[in-house]
Structure 1
Amino acid sequence: MAQVTQETTIMLDSVYQRTNSIDTSNSKASSANLVLMPTQQDAQSQAYADAATCGARVFLCHIYEQGKRNHLAFSLPFNLLLEMAKLQSADNKRHKSNAEELINRPLIHQHVDEIAKYLLETDNYILPPFIFNSSKPIKVFAFGTGAVKFGYAVLPTNVELYVTDGQHRLKAIEKAIKEKSELRDDSVTVLVVQEEDIDQIHQDFADCAKNKPIPPALLAAFDVSNVLSKLTRQISRDLVIFNGRIDKISKTLGKDPNYIFTMNQLRIGMAEFLFGSSRKQVIESRSNQQKGEDKMLLEKAKVFYMEFAKINDGWQLLLQPVSKTVNLDLYSLRQDKINFNTVGLQILSRVGNRIFFGTNFSDAERNILIDALASLDYRRTSQLWQNSVVIDDGDGNKRIVAQIAAVDKGCKIALREVEQKTGIKLS
């Protein structure tokens, strides 16, 4: 456990004390900026005096510690809430490949409308607290010695309070207040968490999103507490074949020509490679057992997918950055080849698991096996996959069977073919 020491500076002839918590395990200063005062009157006087020097505003708040971070609890009227809150929402079109760089998931306008309708039609409505993030410390003149202290927070005019949880409620209030002006007199509880680490902000978002479940793609993009999601997120950025070509928002790709997989599909493929299965029970039992091996697992996944891409005639097209393949139609490739679909990714990834985590092959043997796997005919029309992974729908179309049983059959076929090509046993 990290040791925390308190460094106290006595100021203004010992009228008040400033406390700065320092985590000696990583030398990172806490975001807390609490100025402890002897009495409530002292705290109030000093807060207003401090605010007067910089044009800041003073807000009453409670301060408490949770999860090793100081939290500030405010009550704000709706008009101030709308004035102070800032959003940084991903856009369904513009941020498909970099949603993890933003704080919030995309706005779901239907959800906003539902909440606004509730506010307009319900007299005794209730809204849960909002959670804001402040990347910079907020100065609070506080008093008290208990676990929960009372204080006066000094908020500069340029303070940036980004919504971690509550963006749909915020937009709903903004919409409803135009039709029901008396809502301006109502208030809401706001919890401000001081955090500058974008990964932790995303984790806060993932932990808070209970009312409206996070789509699988965004869960894989934001939830860094899970080893599988963390490695999927990392490989989507680190490998040129995936970088900019993974849709990190949508549930399905439809006819979008710019993306090869959704984030959740890539996560499923990574589960097959790392654990030899993407079944839910296997993922839940294995993913968090791999902590401490992240770097090794990631490097093996990188080697496998890159070596596969160097040989496979379809994936070779992905070896150039997105900026140099603007005319590449990934939708057409998804229609033509199974390895541009989830089932195909699962099959090749599960065989990759046998190559990297099964028998202790030499580097030369491993390269031979990847070469053979990448050289298989992955076209939908190939006889190799007929009546297992691909079936005729009756109208002459070749339809991919998106079921785990089809993946199991396809994996057996791929293993058989690779063993025949190389003479090396994988099973």
Structure 2
Amino acid sequence: MVKGFSYSFPAIRGIQAKEEYYVAMCPLEVISKIFQSIDEDFPPEFRAQRILNKSRIPEITGYIINNPDSYVFSSLTASVDGDIIFTPFSETDLGTLQIPIKAKFLINDGQHRRAAIEEALKINKELENETISVVFFKDNGLKKSQQMFADLNKHAVNTTKSIGILYDNRDPLALLSKKVVESIPLLKRFTDQEADNLSKYSPRIFTLTNIHSSICCILGKKKGDKINKNDEKFVMDYWKALCNTMHEWKQVQDKALSASECRKDYINAHGVVLVALGHLGNYLYCNNIQEYVEYINCLNKIDWSRSNNKDWNGRALTPKGTINKNTTAIRLTYNKIKHLIGFKLDEQEKTLDEMMINQSEAQQ
């Protein structure tokens, strides 16, 4: 029997590595009380958990508060330094788990979820009686806890950005990106909706994450922002115009050019150009240029080949001829596209171009 006052949870008993563990349903109110943040002054070698990244908390908290009817969390994993008593119901692995109030709890996995839950409860008290599953292990010392943390995290693999967009049925930008890809035959056929990077012989031209990034640039909006009907119409019409114009893309669609050859020989099959075209779309949309399709048609007068060093070296291409993916490269590529189809650069854009030219001359 546990001496003194204790927490009591309905739980399921299991066996891993020949040792018992328990899965219990814990009210969110209890989570914020029994699991405390680690002492940041402790040297890392004496901790079994990394320091809390406080910048992550507001986003997770907002996720809970903004989606009270649909948020979902995976289990927390915790070690308990104290007596654990499991009382089964009859001869089953279902029962009651008792843990002394004085026991020490260590989160092995889920400390950011715990911190976000604590902040969410301050905003919405109605969440107190909702629950989250916690997997409890017996604490067998610092080294064991450190190994648990390493084991729980070493095999974790982040999903691709494309998968995150594909499965996001809440964010307006994600929904619009998927609608654009689904509605335009060329994009539907040649967009990889899972990968962020295409393999050498992939039969696709684009990735969903690059299409999404381009659309974010067109509208100048970020995740969670609202999108009106005018926004949606322009994005859809703009991408239809691009797909009807880009000669290399249409060659792939007509089977006159393979997707792998298109990506190998032309820069307009790469994210740096797609996002730059997003900036171009933003310029056209914000300036309410009605005849913008005429400018889009001018894109076919541009030499998109990777051998065109005069236009793309230092912009979409590095000096070694590889694709340049950084933010500056995108802006410089946009500047060149804007200039080539007949628009003047503003002062800020001119300054960026001059800096690139001066840097290139200094390296020669």
Deviations 1:96-117 (A, max 9, x none): xxxxxxxxxxxxxxxxxxxxxx
Match of 1:335 among 258, 264, 269: 264
* Partner in structure 2 of residue 353 of structure 1: 282
Residues 122 and 306 (structure 1), Cα distance of their counterparts in 2 relative to 1, 3 Å cut = farther
Equivalent-residue separation in structure 1 for 2:319 and 2:313 (angstroms) = 8
Identical columns (%): 16
Among candidates 369, 373, 383, match of residue 299 of structure 2: 373
2:19 to 97, 100, 123: 123
Give the C-alpha shift of residue 122 in structure 1.
Answer: 5.9
SS of structure 1 residue aligned to 2:261: helix
Map residues 116-265 of structure 1 onto 2, 5 A cutoff.
120-121=16-17, 123-126=19-22, 186=93, 213-265=158-210
What CA distance in whole angstroms lies between the structure 2 residues aligned with 1:376 and 1:315?
Answer: 14
Residue matched to 2:240? 306
Aligned to 1:176: none
Q: 1:75 to 1:266 in 2, by over 3 A?
A: farther
Using the TM superposition, give the Cα deviation of residue 367 of structure 1 relative to its aligned residue in structure 2, in angstroms. 2.0
Q: Note the C-alpha offset of 1:377.
A: 1.4
Residue 329 to residue 304, structure 1, CA distance change in 2 (3 Å): same
AA at the equivalent of 2:327: I
| CA RMSD in angstroms, aligned pairs only | 3.6
Kindly tell me: are residues 374 and 127 of structure 1, through their superposed partners in 2, closer, same or farther at Cα, counting changes over 3 Å? farther
User: 2:11, 2:23 within 8 Å by CA — same for their partners in 1?
Assistant: no
- In structure 2, the residue matched to 1:98 is none
Label 1:415 to 1:120 Cα distance change in 2 as closer, same or farther (>3 A): same
* Alpha-carbon distance between aligned partners in 2 of 1:260 and 1:283, rounded to the nearest angstrom: 24
- State the distance in 2 between where 1:374 and 1:303 align: 18
Secondary structure of 1:219's counterpart equals: helix
Q: Residues 128 and 410 from structure 1, CA distance in 2 versus in 1: closer, same or farther, beyond 3 angstroms?
A: farther
The structural deviation recorded for 1:418 is 1.4
Checking the alignment, whether the CA contact within 8 Å between 1:246 and 1:261 is kept in structure 2 is yes
Cα separation, 2, equivalents of 1:264 and 1:186: 45
Measured at CA, do residues 388 and 125 of structure 1 come closer, stay the same or move farther in structure 2, by a change above 3 Å? same
Moved over 6 A (4+): 74-78
Say which SS state the counterpart of residue 189 (structure 2) adopts: coil
Q: Deviations over 1:148-178 (max 9, x none)?
A: xxxxxxxxxxxxxxxx998xxxxxxxxxxxx
Select the structure that is richer in helix: 2
In 1, distance between residues paired with 2:21 and 2:158?
22
Q: Provide closer, same or farther for how the CA distance between residues 123 and 273 of structure 1 changes in structure 2, counting only shifts above 3 A.
A: same
Task: Number of aligned residue pairs: give it.
Answer: 218
Q: Which amino acid aligns with 1:370?
A: I
- Partner residue in 1 for 2:273: 344
User: Structure 2 counterpart of 1:315, which letter?
Assistant: W
Deviation at 1:186, TM superposition (A): 4.9
Secondary structure (helix, strand or coil) at the match of 1:124 reads: strand
1:404 deviation in Å? 0.6
Deviation at 1:348, TM superposition (A): 1.7
Give 1:44's aligned residue: none
Cα separation, 2, equivalents of 1:256 and 1:310: 24
Q: How is 1:37-76 mapped onto 2 (pairs within 5 angstroms)?
A: none
Secondary structure of residue in 2 paired with 1:400 = coil
